[in-house]
Chains A and B, each alone.
Chain A
């Protein structure tokens, strides 16, 4: 239990000096803030930029940061050193994942403020963001575990991230993509978030998200067993 805290703190110190990761955490909330405050077009839907950038944020930031942190620790052999100390692998993943979760929830809070949500809307919005971030962390962990080094990691992360974050947007304009994209948690999150003001909540979405989490968790477990030290 203590190890999780130590790893969390180490990661906090480390990430503050890691520009590539820092940018991931602040890019989307920052762009959304700037756009919301400065761009005013007639007939623009309410909270347009919040609804556009927050789903993108939760598919990009946790996946990129989680996978690149793990891939770097594998490349630099620090993960190996930890696992040969009395750190259990789940403690490591919870430490790093927990860190990313908290930082991303701060980012989600920024969106929440920008959207001027109130009462139950806050709960709804933050709850959905939390579920999305968690799923992305598991996916990021899977990719990080599967890649031997950072270069390999980037080449897997990029396409996965692009599919997850752009399919939901393209779905709005194309029925074929919309139908295919339904199986992705990111599209379900996108739809749920876009219904924050109406609190329109579909059971189907939750089922699809849970299935997404399960699949990535199983993949993660299998890959982890295979590549423990490599």
Chain B
């Protein structure tokens, strides 16, 4: 049995369909990502999987339990980072983590570890109400990592963070994967999705437009592959990577006018644009 499995889950608010027949699965130790622009339905999907709201139709299971009757036993095995912070504003960073470590029954040694990993150690005595938005996001993440969970839900774990901290976070996520933790993350950063995920779902307007391994998705759309040529006179030409272009390239090579030439493979962003006509927010 898979760690996460959904069968045709749909969700509507009033008359708008926010999720439309979503099918997803994740095996143990896999990182599954949902890539989509703002309003695609990513958070709604996490809310359903973590039992915070109910789907209108379809079935969803995590850790072999239906998402409509998750109990403390299941919750103790999952770590959740939502986009709303859920932190105690009048307590310090350390006091927040200390409280949750007590609730989670985790030794306080782990607090120092996650503080260091999320770059919050220096701010551990700061009251949460005085933290910047990015720091709150990191604390929120630190809390999700506090538990040694079997399954982690991360809603846009690196959005709004500087590249260096994002790197640290990626390291943390990969470490969890090594330990066999299954990770479900949402993002609108295609580099993050490409780098971390074993499988990704491209989500747009509540529909999964493509699902699978990032590399495989890209090579599936390989016909979008182009050859970029820069000429010595500064002119840039893009040609389709197909026999049709061979004459033109031959001609350019013979006239010794090429400065550089390379092929560019389609990336997730291009694939997303191709499939939905929409641009992912960076």
Partner-B contacts on A (CB < 8 A): 2-3, 6, 10, 13-14, 17-18, 76-78, 80-82, 84-88, 229
Contacts and interface: CB of A to CB of B under 8 A. Distances in A.
B171 to A, nearest CB: 24
A77 B84 contact: yes
B91 A10 contact: yes
B88 A86 contact: no
Q: Which of A14, A80, A85, A87 has the most CB of B within 10 A?
A: A85
Contacts of B51: 84
A229 B87 contact: no
B52 A229 contact: yes
26 contacts: A10-B91, A10-B99, A13-B95, A14-B88, A18-B90, A76-B87, A76-B88, A76-B89, A77-B82, A78-B87, A80-B52, A81-B82, A81-B143, A82-B103, A84-B51, A85-B72, A85-B76, A85-B100, A85-B104, A86-B72, A86-B75, A86-B103, A86-B105, A87-B72, A87-B103, A229-B52
B52 to A, nearest CB: 5
A82 to B, nearest CB: 7
Nearest to B90: A17
B49 to A, nearest CB: 12
Contact of B86 (A13, A14, A80, A88): A80
Contacts, number: 63
A80 B82 CA distance: 10
Interface of B: 50-53, 72-73, 75-76, 80, 82, 84-91, 95, 99-100, 102-105, 127, 143
Contacts of B90: 13-14, 17-18
Contacts of A86: 72-73, 75-76, 103-105
A188 to B, nearest CB: 36
Nearest to B81: A81
B75 A10 contact: no
A217 to B, nearest CB: 23
Contact of B75 (A13, A76, A84): A84
B85 A85 contact: no
Contacts of A2: 102
Contacts of B100: 81, 85
A-B pairs with lowest CB-CB distance, top 5: A77-B86, A81-B86, A17-B90, A86-B72, A6-B102
Given A13-B90, A14-B91, A17-B127, 17 more contacts: A10-B88, A10-B91, A10-B99, A13-B95, A14-B88, A77-B84, A77-B86, A80-B52, A81-B82, A81-B100, A82-B103, A85-B72, A85-B103, A85-B104, A86-B75, A86-B105, A87-B103
Nearest to B143: A81
Contacts of A81: 80, 82, 86, 100, 143
Contacts of A82: 103
B103 A3 contact: yes
